[in-house]
Amino acid sequence: MTSTLLHSLRRQRLPLAYRTARRYVATKGITTDPMTGELMPSTPDIQQNRLEITRNLNPGTPPPSQTLVFGRTFTDHMLTIPWDAVSGWGAPQIKPYGPLQMEPSATVLHYAQTVFEGMKAYRNENGRVTLFRPDMNMQRMNSSARRVALPTFNEDALLELIKQLIRIDKHWIPKEPGHSLYVRPTLIGTQNAIRVGPPTEAMLFVILSPVGPYYPSGFKPIALYGTTEFVRAAPGGTGAYKIGVNYAPGVLPQKTAEALGYSQNLWLHGPDHQLTEVGTMNMFVVFKTKDGAIELVTPPLDGMILPGVTRDSVLTLAREHLSGVKRLPDLPENLVVSERTVTMKEVKEAANEGRLVEMFGAGATNYFYRVAKANVMLGTAAVISPVKTIGYMGEDVHVPTGEDGMGPVSRPIWTELVGIQWGTISSDWSVLVAE
């Protein structure tokens, strides 16, 4: 065993490792830590063929679809996969949904070592079940895991196991248009030691929750609070990763926005108030340029922006429309697609000059919207959330919205996206789970 490896194991404080690592390395070989370049033992990855299935003998009854509330109802089964630094990923288990036993010293409870993903499975009238671009979620989950020193995994193996879980509980997927099964993979550090460091034990679990339509009664454009007193992310921080760390600190700013009469935070960065994200969504602004073109703008992936699946899909559809790979009906021909910095000064100027065409959040979120002065409702937005107002430095900037809530760029893109998701438009992005 090399001294570098010993050093690596010592740093991880693995008493067991001292005894077993020599034998282990002899049989498994040594690989290189992608982050530090240091040698480390190669441990088993997630293996589909080790899956153990324990059926739930007391299955529940899916509730009527119209009663569903986001993230409160879970299906009969869950997937769990243990990991430890010595033996790697253990046997995956599909078993009855139920509580986890966790030591009070478990790392995740103290130091926020948690990574998650959100994806949706759709079931059409013929019983065909699909996921939307799940490979993007698997890639991002690995990227997030690396950032908080949690173990990475074989993305294809995890995806196949998730499909198997969905197949077992597929009768929980509501058939009604717009309904779906929310899939929540989560990876947590579970070692029983309250020191800060790379975890020596972890667990990946996947739970499923049937959810209702995005907009039960049509689009509700939202009012944003241009937020400068709190930040969601900063250069050198973790904004580009889907990790728990980015969410708990957002609740107080969200409460503040609500108290001021807005639905979501518009996170503004830097002295020039660059627009970054909206609540927990990526953000797009559409301008009419001074030479008459239509510019679709979103901030670049500079380390502060979450690489959203919807964000990428919107950009890709817009670019394929322009390149002729696939024309989208009604999407302007004179479109320009930009990943660039956009500031509030530019947005205000465009609004004043009548060149602000529309603005929307892209991605999934829960948000509150006001249906009347004192009435706040919870919506489960997804894909596209049009914006009607930005409260900024004491005044409201008005953002145009169409009669249906959407605008001339978001509408055709939304139509294409949900067509793919609901299976009425065929696409490589739709991945079959079951027929």
Q: How far is the CB of 236 from a copy of itself (least distance, A)?
A: 4
Site for a copy of itself in 91-110 (CB under 8 A): 97, 99-105, 108-110
Nearer to a copy of itself, 46 or 188 (CB): 188
Residue 206: C-alpha distances to residues 71, 97, 188, 426 (Å): 13, 10, 11, 27
Strand partners, 40: 31
- Residue at 426: amino acid letter: S
Q: How far is the CB of 8 from a copy of itself (least distance, A)?
A: 9
Number of residues that bind a copy of itself (CB under 8 A): 83
- 15-28 helix and 3-11 helix, angle to the nearest 10 degrees: 140
- Residue at 90: amino acid letter: G
Q: How far is the CB of 331 from a copy of itself (least distance, A)?
A: 32
CA atoms within 13 A on the CB side of 253: 23
The answer for 285, left when phi > 0, alpha when psi is -120 to 50, beta otherwise, is beta
Nearer to a copy of itself, 71 or 419 (CB): 71
Q: Using an 8 Å Cβ cutoff, are 300 and 341 in contact?
A: yes
Which of 151, 198, 361, 379 binds a copy of itself (CB under 8 A)? It is: 198
Q: Which stretch binds a copy of itself (CB under 8 A): 32-40, 154-162, 325-333, 400-408?
A: 32-40
- List CB contacts of 398: < 8 A, sequence separation 6 or more: 351, 388, 389
Which of 29, 34, 37, 218 binds a copy of itself (CB under 8 A)? It is: 37
Query: If 0-12 CB within 10 Å is exposed, 13-18 middle and 19+ buried, where does residue 284 land?
Result: buried
Q: How far is the CB of 286 from a copy of itself (least distance, A)?
A: 27
Q: Which stretch binds a copy of itself (CB under 8 A): 68-76, 156-164, 215-223, 309-317?
A: 68-76
Using CB under 8 A as the binding rule, whether residue 435 contacts a copy of itself is answered as no
Using CB under 8 A as the binding rule, whether residue 325 contacts a copy of itself is answered as no
The answer for 28, left when phi > 0, alpha when psi is -120 to 50, beta otherwise, is alpha
Site for a copy of itself in 107-146 (CB under 8 A): 108-114, 116, 146
Nearer to a copy of itself, 90 or 400 (CB): 90
> Would you mind telling me the total number of residues written for the chain in this entry?
435
Site for a copy of itself in 350-409 (CB under 8 A): 365-366, 368, 374-378
Residue 417: C-alpha distances to residues 165, 194, 309, 413 (Å): 25, 45, 11, 6
Which of 280, 310, 389, 415 binds a copy of itself (CB under 8 A)? It is: 280
Query: If 0-12 CB within 10 Å is exposed, 13-18 middle and 19+ buried, where does residue 112 land?
Result: middle
User: Residue 365 and residue 279: Cα distance in Å, rounded?
Assistant: 8
Chain centre to alpha carbon of residue 91:
26
Nearer to a copy of itself, 293 or 378 (CB): 378
Using CB under 8 A as the binding rule, whether residue 18 contacts a copy of itself is answered as no
- List CB contacts of 395: < 8 A, sequence separation 6 or more: none
Q: How far is the CB of 3 from a copy of itself (least distance, A)?
A: 5
Using CB under 8 A as the binding rule, whether residue 22 contacts a copy of itself is answered as no
Q: How far is the CB of 102 from a copy of itself (least distance, A)?
A: 5
Site for a copy of itself in 161-190 (CB under 8 A): 182, 184, 186, 188-189
Q: How far is the CB of 197 from a copy of itself (least distance, A)?
A: 6
Using CB under 8 A as the binding rule, whether residue 56 contacts a copy of itself is answered as no
Q: Which stretch binds a copy of itself (CB under 8 A): 166-174, 227-235, 291-299, 341-349?
A: 227-235
Q: How far is the CB of 198 from a copy of itself (least distance, A)?
A: 6
Using CB under 8 A as the binding rule, whether residue 64 contacts a copy of itself is answered as no
Which of 16, 26, 53, 234 binds a copy of itself (CB under 8 A)? It is: 234
User: Among the residues of 105-250, which ranges form H helices?
Assistant: 107-111, 134-147, 155-168
Q: Using an 8 Å Cβ cutoff, are 223 and 391 in contact?
A: yes
Q: Using an 8 Å Cβ cutoff, are 431 and 131 in contact?
A: yes
Q: Using an 8 Å Cβ cutoff, are 278 and 267 in contact?
A: yes
Q: How far is the CB of 137 from a copy of itself (least distance, A)?
A: 15
Q: How far is the CB of 203 from a copy of itself (least distance, A)?
A: 10
Nearer to a copy of itself, 184 or 288 (CB): 184
Using CB under 8 A as the binding rule, whether residue 78 contacts a copy of itself is answered as yes
Site for a copy of itself in 250-269 (CB under 8 A): 250-252, 254-256, 258-259
